[in-house]
A and B are shown apart, each in its own frame.
Chain A
Amino acid sequence: MALEVLASVSQNVAVEAGYLAIRALKHLSGSVVPADEPFGAESVTARALAQRIIDEISSTEARPIPNLGRARVDYYISKIAEIVHARAAESIRIDAERGDAILAELREEFRV
């Protein structure tokens, strides 16, 4: 399954491909449509990978994406999102303490 490929491509390609695949799933669409290409050439690679993921999901499930049903769509969105979460954070050192401090500040400032 192409989901595993997300672990081996570059970080930008993985994050963008995951994002595009989730978007196609969320809208129950079989096609990957990029709104922009923020990562240059890597965006093009990401688009192709996202389409491969969508095609493989459709093939595994033996039905087109629009017929998948919400539960299966949610299952794949969760799987892909978890990989995106991991890949987006791998090139930097997560500063949990600073993240917590910023959140506390924002919760105080933006109560809406």
Chain B
Amino acid sequence: MADPLILYSTNTWLAYVIGERFYGSQHYVWCTPDFDARALPRIEQIAPPSSSPAEIYQDLYEDVRRGDKHSSKIKDNKAGLLRGAAAKRAASMISEDDYRVVVSTVKQAQGRDFRPLLYVIPFARVRAIVQPAPVELRAHPLSREYIIEHLPRVDFDALELPLGGM
């Protein structure tokens, strides 16, 4: 199969700014060339729509717009950010003080800080650092999903879609 042209990933604004400020503009992303599984021809719709960046964006956007304090997506994102900080601290990639600041920042974050951003990543720029996601964790064994552990900011665009209402 030919290399994809573009990879897409949905992340939160908070994850983005923490990567920018504390991790040297490096970002951990889970990405796929299929922005919206619903937009593909039926025969190519391998992954369930709920796993596509478009659907993740919409779900997160709705939770933030409604001010849903019990949003599992926001709680999940928070847990991931805290784990990321703990892992970086364990690897001595950040200082104890930075760890405390990151955790304090995540703890104090408000609903809108978890609004979604869409990362648009030209594949050619990340070919050397992109890794296929473990098959067991893909939405479908045949779906095209990748992980980039240290994605430099210069290699993607971050977009906030003008959906309104927020």
Contacts and interface: CB of A to CB of B under 8 A. Distances in A.
Q: Are these two chains actual partners, yes or no? A: yes
Interface residues of B, number: 46
Nearest to A88: B82
Tell me which of A24, A40, A82, A99 has the highest count of chain B C-beta atoms within 10 A of its own C-beta.
A99
A35 B83 CA distance: 13
Contacts of B88: 38
A100 B109 CA distance: 8
A110 B14 CA distance: 10
B76 A22 contact: yes
Contact of B134 (A33, A78, A96): A33
A62 interface: no
Tell me which of A23, A38, A88, A94 has the highest count of chain B C-beta atoms within 10 A of its own C-beta.
A88
A16 B109 CA distance: 22
Q: Is the interface of A mostly helix, strand, loop or mixed?
A: helix
B80 interface: yes
A35 B134 contact: yes
B154 interface: no
B76 A77 contact: yes
Q: Is the interface of B mostly helix, strand, loop or mixed?
A: helix
Contact of B104 (A77, A82, A95): A95
Interface of B: 13, 16-17, 20-21, 50-51, 70, 72, 75-76, 78-80, 82-83, 85-88, 90-91, 96, 99-101, 103-110, 113, 117, 134, 136-139, 147, 149, 158-160
A40 B101 CA distance: 24
A92 B100 contact: yes
Given A35-B134, A78-B75, A12 B17 contact: no
Contacts of A112: 13, 16, 117, 158-160
Nearest to A82: B75
Given A77-B75, A103-B113, 9 more contacts: A16-B86, A28-B139, A36-B149, A39-B86, A39-B87, A84-B83, A95-B100, A100-B108, A110-B17
